[in-house]
A and B are shown apart, each in its own frame.
Chain A
Amino acid sequence: MKSEATTILDSGKVKFFLAEVLRNFSRNAGMQVTAIGTVAITIVLLGLFLFVRAAIADAGRQLLDEISVSAYLRTDATPQQVTAIAHFLAQDPRVASVQYVPKREGLTELRARTKGTIDTALLTENPLPDKFRIKARVAEDVPAIAASVRRLTGVDNVVYGQKIVQRLLQLGALLRRISIAVIVVFFAVAGIIIANTIRLTVFARRREIAIMQLVGATNTYIRLPFICEGLLDGLIGALVAVALLAVARAALWPRLLEALPWAQLTVVPVDGRVLTTELLGVGAAIGILASWVSVGRHLRT
């Protein structure tokens, strides 16, 4: 009287299945706590990484707003050349904005910036050339834009905050590499710990598994409770991590703003709900992957 409809669920089946999962999960509580803790640490680190990266990106964007490429024109540049340069820049997709600054305006700006520390009244004539002030959409493009403008006829010299831009880019890249390495290591550790936890459960249930195989349970069916166990480890760990991150943000963020006023930290534009979903997803993924591998090894032998 074996039912062919193996996919149809009924309450009895669901109850049986959940009881199996729960029994597995509670069988070695110590290991579960370790697994959950490791996942939590991993995901807190991941959260911090995303947070810091967003903060750096934000700070970079602010710095970038202040960095512009100044293309100084030759004093003998013809109006046609100036128009050609303006046209060229307007076509460049990397350029966010272009502003033509005639030398008179440049002097006014200089006066404003120096606020009287230099007596511009001493100048008998305006020493500044006309220039274009160019802003890039992305900080990475600033050097390339500068290089392409420098080649144009009528351009005398191109100046931008070269060092600042490069340092910023380097710092960002370095931080990214370090944090990715740390996170990869932690992911591996979390995965291994979950896999070992599942292996203990598999070991404790080896007789049941043997009987399941004997009576013709499919490997998918045998795997499922263990996958659920891994999933629970991952999800609970991720939940703990999200809670920790939320508390940390609420408690520490105002103090950080206070302590580092020069850093010009703004509220980091991270959507809490999106981040939570992502982190929970990551936790679930570690759990499923680790348990899949762990049970798979047992079923093959």
Chain B
Amino acid sequence: MISLRGISLVYPNGVRALDNVTLEIAKGDFVFLVGASGTGKSSLLRLLYREAKSSTGEIVVDGIRVDRLRRSRIPALRRHLGVVFQDFKLLVDKTVWENVAFAMQVTGAHTRDVMRQVPRVLDLVGLSHKSRMYPGELSGGEQQRTAIARALVNNPKILLCDEPTGNLDPANTTEITALLLRINLKGTTVVVATHNQAVVDRMRRRVVRLEDGRIAADEERGYYYLGLRESQVLSG
């Protein structure tokens, strides 16, 4: 579903964000990208939805050669992806319903499809009863659920999350994590960049650890810290 081969990313200011990264993510996978701030987690996600362009290497997302993609084809790529951010990026003057519908409307969806699809995703994230509320009237968790609904409304095969729980308290974090898992179980490939140790250690999913722009570890049922024992987690 996602394949990176020998990817390097050097920003115009000379900062090397990623250095020879090779990574395969299968369809239906749930992957955590972990590492300290500035190790290239966000950069890697940005490459996948072509917000940034790799300096070298080959990127394939859902069959699309992203590294060679022409500018005019970027919208087509992004319709295959849902992206969620730490700061939600909701439109404050639109209701929950409008925020979610917006993603369909601006990609030219038929009104009939909007009317059918928006209630479905709102139901999935558990916000049907708050569809007429504005982001300012919602809790952080609810705002993030709205953002996730928006990311899912166009039925993407891949959901990319950049610190989705970074602004949330533990209760909301649990709620969002559970939601992401549910989405994954429905068949969507989910990639989550995070430095929330608790979430990673509780979920026991595939963990890809980045250090200074390189992959330092890639464990199938991993912990936030490399080789951490189960007993340590439980006692810690």
What 1/0 flags go to A1-36 for Cβ under 8 Å of B? 111011110111100100000000000000000000
* Contact, CB under 8 Å: B78 / A6: no
Tell me the chain B residues, 66-122 only, with Cβ under 8 Å from chain A. Answer: 72, 74-79, 83, 89, 91, 102-114, 116-117
Size bracket, chain B contacts: 20 to 34
Interface residue? B196 (CB, 8 A): no
A218 to B107, CA, bound (A): 7
Q: Are A218 and B75 in contact (CB under 8 A)?
A: yes
A217 & B107 in contact (Cβ 8 Å cutoff) = yes
Question: A214 — which chain B residues lie within 8 A by C-beta?
Answer: 49, 78, 83, 89
- Whether A2 touches B105, Cβ cut-off 8 Å, given contacts A211-B91, A215-B150, A216-B75, is no
- B114 / chain A contacts, CB cutoff of 8 Å: 12
Contact check, B108 vs A215: say whether CB atoms are below 8 A apart: no
Interface of A is mostly: helix
State whether the Cβ of B154 lies closer than 8 Å to any Cβ in chain A.
Answer: yes
In the complex, A148 Cα to B102 Cα: how many Å?
74
Query: How far is A208 from B110 in the complex, measured between Cα atoms in Å?
Result: 20
Please report the total number of A residues contacting B with Cβ < 8 Å.
26
Q: Are B111 and A12 in contact (CB under 8 A)?
A: yes
Q: Can you pick out 27 interface pairs between chain A and chain B where the beta carbons lie within 8 Å of each other? A: A1-B116, A3-B110, A6-B108, A7-B108, A10-B110, A12-B114, A13-B108, A13-B110, A207-B91, A210-B89, A211-B91, A214-B78, A214-B83, A215-B78, A215-B102, A215-B103, A215-B106, A215-B107, A215-B150, A216-B75, A216-B77, A216-B78, A217-B106, A218-B72, A219-B75, A221-B108, A222-B106
Contact residue among A11, A210, A211, A215 (Cβ-Cβ distance under 8 Å from B79): A215
A212 proximal to B (CB < 8 A): yes
A218 proximity list for chain B (CB < 8 A): 72, 75
Evaluate contact between B113 and A10: CB separation under 8 angstroms. no
By a CB distance below 8 angstroms, the chain A residues around B89 are 207, 210-211, 214
A residues near B151, Cβ cutoff 8 Å: 215
Known: A207-B91, A210-B89. A217 touches B110 (CB 8 A): no
Interface residues of chain A, those whose CB is within 8 Å of chain B, are 1-3, 5-8, 10-13, 16, 207-208, 210-219, 221-222
CB distance from B71 to the nearest CB of A (A): 8
Residues of chain B with a CB closer than 8 A to A1's CB:
109, 113, 116-117, 155
CB distance from B20 to the nearest CB of A (A): 28
Docked CA distance A198–B154 (Å) = 30
Give bound CA distance, A51 to B103, whole Å.
51
Decide yes or no: A2 and B113 within 8 Å by CB, A214-B83, A216-B107 being known contacts.
yes
Residues of A within 8 A of B116 (CB): 1
Given A13-B110, A216-B78; 9 other pairs, CB 8 A cutoff = A2-B79, A2-B155, A3-B108, A10-B110, A208-B91, A211-B91, A214-B49, A215-B79, A216-B74
Chain A residues near B72: list those with CB within 8 A.
218-219
Given A207-B91, A208-B91, A211-B89, the answer on whether A217 and B111 have CB atoms closer than 8 Å is: no
What 5 A-B pairs have minimum CB-CB distances, sorted nearest first? A12-B111, A6-B108, A216-B78, A216-B79, A3-B110
Q: Which of A10, A207, A216 has the most CB of B within 10 A?
A: A216
Q: Which residues of A contact B154 (CB under 8 A)?
A: 2, 215-216
**Complex interface: chain A residues within 8 A of B83 (CB):** 214
